[in-house]
Amino acid sequence: MQVEQRVKELVEEKITDREDLFIVRIKMHNNGILEILLDGDNGISIEDCVGVSRHVGFHLEEENVIDRAYRLEVSSPGIDMPLLLLRQYIKNVGRNVRLTLEDGRKEEGTLVSATDAQLVLEQMVKEKGKKAISKTVEFPMNQIKETKVLISFK
């Protein structure tokens, strides 16, 4: 059995009673780091990460799943990490995001909605000599290379 698949099963087992939590990514890196990224519809606590880490670590050792030295890291995605799942997009509705499109263009705006097919942003558009107006723009998901949440320090 592949390490990542077994880890996914163990994480799902641990968070089965927590419908608000979800797996973003599980990856065994070549440098021996086993990375588990978790998130929650309302965020995720350190205690949640610790609980998953202990559960997964215990079972990996008991079952001797990994035959080399490794380091287990359980965390939430960092602020600078692109959104990967529709559930992350939905969680961030109302926040400002920056899209990098497949053609290299960058677009910014407030995330209004997200589906498997498209994102909808509200953008402020200023035409020369006129007041800025708000307009809603749709972007097909297959044209989006990357989406990052913009952090405001206001």
Which of 53, 75, 97 is a domain's end point?
75
Looking at the predicted structure, is the pLDDT value of residue 153 above 80? no
> Among 47, 75, 103, which residue terminates a domain?
75
Q: For residue 152, count CB atoms less than 10 angstroms from its CB and return exposed for 0-12, middle for 13-18, buried for 19 or more.
A: exposed
Beta-bridge mates of residue 97: 109, 149
Same domain? 8 vs 65? yes
80 band by pLDDT with thresholds 50, 70 and 90: confident
Q: Which of 142, 145, 94 is nearest to 118 (CA)?
A: 142
Q: How far is CA 92 from CA 1, 8, 44, in A?
A: 35, 24, 14
Query: What's 51's domain CATH number?
Result: 3.30.300.20
pLDDT of res. 113: 97
User: Based on the domain organization, do 51 and 22 belong to the same domain?
Assistant: yes
* Structural contact between residues 96 and 109, judged by C-beta atoms closer than 8 angstroms: yes
Q: pLDDT tens-digit profile of 99-129?
A: 999 999 999 999 999 999 999 999 988 888 8
Nearest Cα residue to 44 out of 28, 23, 30, 16: 23
Q: Indicate whether 66 belongs to any domain.
A: yes
We report the CATH number of the domain holding residue 108 as: 2.30.30.100
Q: Domain check: are 61 and 103 in the same one? A: no
Measured CA to CA, the distance from residue 44 to residue 21 in angstroms comes to: 7
Residue 132 structural domain: 86-149
Is residue 26 situated within a structural domain? yes
Q: How many domains, the chain? A: 2
Single pTM value for the model: 0.84
Q: Which two tokens stand for residue 113?
A: 């909605």
Which among 55, 75, 95 is the end of a domain? 75
Q: Give the tens place of pLDDT for each residue, 37-57.
A: 999 999 999 999 999 999 999
pLDDT surpasses 80 at 1: no
Separation between Cα atoms, residue 120 and residue 138, nearest integer Å: 4
% of the chain surpassing 70 pLDDT = 99
